[in-house]
Amino acid sequence: MAISGFEGFEKRLELRFCGDDPVTADNNLGLRLLGFESLEQVLNAVQCTVVSAVANQYFDAYVLSESSLFVYPTKIIIKTCGTTQLLKSIRPLIHHACNLGLTLCSCRYTRGSFIFPKAQPFPHTSFKEEVIYLEETLPTDLCYRKASVMPSKTTTHSWHVFTACDQSHLIPNDTYTLEVCMTELDRVLARKFFQPPGGTKSGDIAGKEMTKITGIGDINPRAMICDFAFDPCGYSMNGVHNDRYSTIHVTPEDGFSYASFECVGSIFDDDIEHLVGSLRKAVQVFRPATLSVSTTCASHEVWPRVAHALEPLGLKCRSCAADEFPAAGSVVFQTFTARRK
């Protein structure tokens, strides 16, 4: 294990807002009306920048210098890796949303266990510090709050969850989120995320090539992909399909290699089986020795399919922890290791 290196494990923040008139808030652009300068100000507080962007009729998707940002009319998701200060985005986002007539009604913060925890800046020095910061930063009417560290059989993998919401958003909606964290990537496959020394390709062009040669483009062929390759190594992509996003981030260096895959869906989807196929394809791009999957969903129909997707790939489920959270529903945290270990 390297003593220090780039922190691949992301912090993820999801903020939901509501307006006085929910109908107009949903029909118009809502948070999508935030000017680029406002978004830059938010990202400046986090300490990252936009490197690429794409949009459709439902939402805007940004690839960041450290991961991704998704802006919907009444919802924002920011996911950042490295030593970013993600929680510092909350105050400016509440302020900018207020100018659009929107108020914060729920918050969800999740992350895995950092590979290099000592390198993290305030408020990310520990989960306790993060929770204190969240408790102090969130409006008091988000009074239904819960923080939990979900364990696994290994001390190196645990899942940290904090949720908060107001009275009217206690019941979760019908969407699910799948957050996959992969470590100890197959070395041969990880090499595909390095640019050749002295290469002159732009991040956009090199990113498109990586999407193609690694098979990432086949995970969901229906999605519009916005991708970017970093110099000398590393890769990020956002997939956009109708009102759903998927995202992949790769830190390929040996000793602290890491890749993440995240996607969202609805429990009413006809093609929940499509989720199994996507998950299987995403994991096969990296063939990790260890991975964890966190499934956040109002019901219990999604998480049992995770093991069904992964076990044929030679991955064995080593642990499973479940908990209930206000506004989020149930969170199920599963860890897997390759049988070859």
Task: Return the bridge partners of 181, or none.
Answer: 260, 292
Q: Is the dihedral of CA 276, 228, 66, 45 positive or negative?
A: negative
| 296 to 125, 137, 155, 226, 337: CA distances (angstroms) | 25, 24, 22, 25, 21
Q: Is residue 253 part of an annotated ligand binding site?
A: yes
Q: Is residue 129 part of an annotated ligand binding site?
A: no
Q: What single DSSP character describes residue 198?
A: T
Residue among 25, 11, 23, 38 at smallest CA distance from 103? 25
Q: Is residue 17 part of an annotated ligand binding site?
A: no
The separation between the first and the last C-alpha atoms of the chain, rounded to the nearest angstrom, is 16
Residue among 142, 140, 62, 141 at smallest CA distance from 109? 142
Neighbours of 318 (CB within 10 A): 16
* Active site members: 67, 81, 236, 249
Q: Cβ(303)–Cβ(294) under 8 Å?
A: no
Which residues line the annotated binding site for substrate?
Answer: 6, 66, 230, 253
